[in-house]
Amino acid sequence: MPSAANLTRAVAEHRSATVELADHAIHLDLTGAPDSTQSTFTSTSTITLVSSESSVEIDLVAVGEPQVELDGERARATYADSRVRVEGLTPGREHTVTITAQCVYGHTGEGLHRYHDPEDGETYLYTHFEPTDARRVFACFDQPDLKAPFRISVSAPTGWLVRSNAEAEHSASEGAVTTTDFAPTLPISTYIVCVIAGPYHLVEDEWVSDDGRRVPLSLMCRPAMASRLPSADLLRWTKAGLPWCEERFGREYPWGKYEQIFVPEYNIGAMENPGLVTFNERYLKRGDATRSEREALANTLLHEMAHMWFGDLVTMPWWDDLWLKESFADFIGTQASEEVTEFADAWVTFGLGRKMWAYSADQLPTTHPIVADIPDVEAARANFDGITYAKGASVLRQLVAYVGEDAFYAGVSAYFADHAFANASLTDFLTALSTASGRDMSAWAEAWLRTAGPDTLSVEGGELVRESLDWSADEPPAAPAARPHRLQVTSFSVTDDGWTPLDSEWIDVTDARTPLPNTGAVTLVDDHDWTYARIVPDAATFDALTGHLAALEPTNSRAVAWGQLWHACRDAHLPTQTFCRTVLAHIPAERSPAVVDGVCLKYVTAVTAYLPTTMRTEWGDALWHVARDAYTTALDGDLYDAFAQPTARLDLALAWRRVLTWAAGIAPTAQHEVRAMLDGPDGLFHPDADERWALLVSRAAHAGEHEVDDVRAELARELERDTTKRGIAQAIAVRAALATPQAKLTAWERTDDESLTNEEVASLVAGLTHPASVHCAQSVDLQARYLDSLERWWNGRSQVIASKLARGLFGVVTDAGAAQAWLDAHVEAPGALRRIVVEEVDQLRRAERARENASAAASV
């Protein structure tokens, strides 16, 4: 994959001030795609524009020299630094620029990704452009505020399914080649243009609105995954989501058809291309999906649907306001899940999952305000983070509590009405909201959107004490932002018989100290999870939580309490083993699958990162034993009256089954059982293809020197059993996970292998840094090689791949000081690369503090 030059906000702003687009026609010749010896395709891009200057610079990442014509004549043009500079325009006059180039078929999920399927011998293509990879497929102004109607035309092998954002208008076959011309799109940004091509499997349906509008629907995936496509669920959620969005947003679905496709080797969860949403094929499980996995799919589907309005219809001018679309989509994805799908406790899942992602990103030295300063697209790419998505969504939830639901959606509707098919910024959104709510939102926005870090709300002597820090600064700010919080506080009497709520009140936190309703010894703050803050309970509440958590109702409050304990563990206020002991004591009685897997994932992190090595075996094994018992109990089911419904019991058993596969990675004494499961049929359960790979990776990481040959033989058998590309990628993880210095060295050599796909790189990284065998990497000093490689990766590979390597392989670093020394010596290194190292050093130091805390507690 050729590396692409950075694109700055300054360049983008200059272009949007000087260029106006009238039309953009694109032809892609993909007829050679099935031939893997052909590395490029011909792309022709015809842009009709008016410029106020005599030259324009158009983005393009291609090989060789592009051919450039101006109004049909050969143009004066140069091509350098991923831009074509075209001279000779008459300012103010309409021109047509045609650029024909050889663009590269990608294998890293960026631009036009090509997937050769080893099973059926077929080729599958899809595009992914956000933020600036459209320029890898056609010459364009690759920035969100130069919208155009796109007229796309694709030549591909006859018989392929070819789709784009708009409906096909015309299609003509000449023997083996079929050319499809799509209708012009409504005005859209480049990053959401999409083309898919290949012999994909197709399911068609339609949604008919109450007023009789027909929206064609389709689902697509590779034929090999067709039996794993949950069509009924996907169509049900789609048909429930569309009218919900239309009503809430006050505007009809704008894009004609609504197609959704699952594609292989995808870097992210999904992408909101108007009329043609792309999903990561990993959402399709090769066995039974757990409830949380199904919920994640529903949530993603609704997240992308929200983008059809927020992001696609009204778009941020530049990536500074990326949060505006992502926070909103994350909020709507969860809110709509709760209201229109079977996942009525979607905010519980959010609280234990995505919201924790937000808190951890927000406590890093690189944290930033929700409204970020994004000088270039490298910085934009680095900002698809927990703050932009999940903190923003949490803050929108708090906003709804603050202004009320009616005012919130009235503001949203006005915003769409005012800015449809154009670009709009935070100020525009706040203006709409202020009008709808009748309140000036500027102080609220200043406090919540333009400051970094979580507030801390601590219960002290009958008061709630608010502390605001700027986590990105070394010193506390002189005048910390005074964020208002609106939340509920519930007090309880707690005995061995359970929790008796005494009083629950809404309170507004506007000052540094807020008196609490004084009715009980145990006080849960924000037990319905309305706000975004680190909550520190008092000692009596901590004791009640560690002693009686399983009996706390409802589920939402239990999830919030688990989150508060997890904060305390991460911040080294609670010894890691106390957190782990609380999990082992209370999670077996848990009936919510979302809480089971949410909490157990944290337990796995606690063991691998926050416990000293000498204590990991004991606590790792303990989770295995608890999970095994809970799994068999859930299958028997008789103990749970609440689970008269067999599906609920099965959901719980499946959640525990997933926990078992995670626990296998940290439980050394479980490995004989892992092997029995792989050998079957007498193991604990019959693992599906994906579970088999996870278990085999654990086997490899725990195998002693004398077992290495056995594992290699098992790997060879597994590869005969699973001949998919997913299997081939997983085999890389197994080899890299083997617990020998030689295996680590051999795997390390592959970090420079540019033929690896994005998915193979991810597997390589996961295997190399497997917590059970990473010590072998340390024994051959991969830390030094890692630090030496960082700049080479960054300069030589695409940002997606370089980031996977730089972030993932930090696991071989044991000495935070050495990594800090690299930072000190590389002040001039690219900002997005430094950001990864700064964050990982901080995570390592946080882990060291937690380990010291655990050791100290153990020696008392």
Which residues participate in catalysis according to the annotation? 304
Residues 505-544 that bind Zn ion (CB under 5 A): none
- Smallest separation, CB 317 to Zn ion (Å): 17
Bridge partners (DSSP) listed for residue 128: 111
| C-alpha Rg value of the chain to the nearest Å | 27
The yes or no reply on residue 271 touching Zn ion (CB under 5 A) is no
Per-residue contact string for residues 433-452; x = within reach of Zn ion by CB under 5 A: --------------------
- Smallest separation, CB 799 to Zn ion (Å): 18
- Smallest separation, CB 323 to Zn ion (Å): 10
The answer to whether 91 and 55 have CB atoms below 8 angstroms apart is no
Contact segment (CB under 5 A) with Zn ion among 28-36, 132-140, 324-332, 846-854 equals: 324-332
Separation CA 214–CA 211 (nearest Å): 9
Neighbours of 92 (CB within 10 A): 10
Separation CA 69–CA 98 (nearest Å): 5
Instruction: Answer positive or negative: Cα dihedral of 159, 164, 170, 174.
Output: negative
Judged by DSSP in three states, 232 sits in helix
Separation CA 416–CA 622 (nearest Å): 53
Separation CA 607–CA 576 (nearest Å): 8
Residue 244 or 640 having the CB closest to Zn ion: 244
Residue 89 or 329 having the CB closest to Zn ion: 329
Residue 124 or 309 having the CB closest to Zn ion: 309
- Smallest separation, CB 333 to Zn ion (Å): 8
Residue 329 or 611 having the CB closest to Zn ion: 329
Neighbours of 54 (CB within 10 A): 11
Contact segment (CB under 5 A) with Zn ion among 325-333, 583-591, 687-695, 755-763 equals: 325-333
- Cα-Cα-Cα-Cα torsion 104, 109, 114, 118, nearest 10 degrees, comes to 140
Residue 384 or 409 having the CB closest to Zn ion: 384
- Smallest separation, CB 307 to Zn ion (Å): 6
- Smallest separation, CB 384 to Zn ion (Å): 9
Residue 654 or 800 having the CB closest to Zn ion: 800
Residue 198 or 333 having the CB closest to Zn ion: 333
Contact segment (CB under 5 A) with Zn ion among 6-14, 45-53, 321-329, 683-691 equals: 321-329
Alpha helices in 374-464 (DSSP H): 377-382, 386, 392-403, 405-419, 426-437, 442-449
Bridge partners (DSSP) listed for residue 534: 456
Cis omega before residue 131 (within 30°)? yes
Q: Which helix (H) or strand (E) holds 291?
A: helix 291-307
Contact segment (CB under 5 A) with Zn ion among 327-335, 367-375, 591-599, 829-837 equals: 327-335
What residues contact residue 280 under an 8 Å CB cut-off, 6+ apart? 262, 263, 266, 268, 269, 270
The yes or no reply on residue 329 touching Zn ion (CB under 5 A) is yes
Tokens of 68: 């450039």
- Smallest separation, CB 392 to Zn ion (Å): 11
The yes or no reply on residue 302 touching Zn ion (CB under 5 A) is no
Contact segment (CB under 5 A) with Zn ion among 7-15, 284-292, 319-327, 743-751 equals: 319-327
Q: How many residues bind Zn ion (CB under 5 A)?
A: 2
DSSP 542: H
Contact segment (CB under 5 A) with Zn ion among 37-45, 166-174, 320-328, 806-814 equals: 320-328
Which backbone phi and psi does 735 adopt, to 5 degrees? Answer: -60, -40
Q: Which helix (H) or strand (E) holds 595?
A: helix 593-610
Residue 261 or 574 having the CB closest to Zn ion: 261
Separation CA 268–CA 328 (nearest Å): 18
Residue 306 or 623 having the CB closest to Zn ion: 306
- Smallest separation, CB 303 to Zn ion (Å): 6
Judged by DSSP in three states, 564 sits in helix
In angstroms, the Cα distances linking 181 to 169, 171, 184, 447, 621 are 6, 6, 9, 49, 59
Tokens of 314: 């009204």
Neighbours of 829 (CB within 10 A): 17
Residues 240-269 that bind Zn ion (CB under 5 A): none
Residue 302 or 666 having the CB closest to Zn ion: 302
Judged by DSSP in three states, 162 sits in strand
Bridge partners (DSSP) listed for residue 261: 220, 278
Bridge partners (DSSP) listed for residue 455: 533
Contact segment (CB under 5 A) with Zn ion among 64-72, 118-126, 328-336, 357-365 equals: 328-336
Residue in 267, 455, 287 with CA at minimum distance from that of residue 358:
455
- Smallest separation, CB 618 to Zn ion (Å): 41
The answer to whether 501 and 491 have CB atoms below 8 angstroms apart is yes
Residue with nearest beta carbon to Zn ion: 329
- Positions touching Zn ion (CB under 5 A) are 326, 329
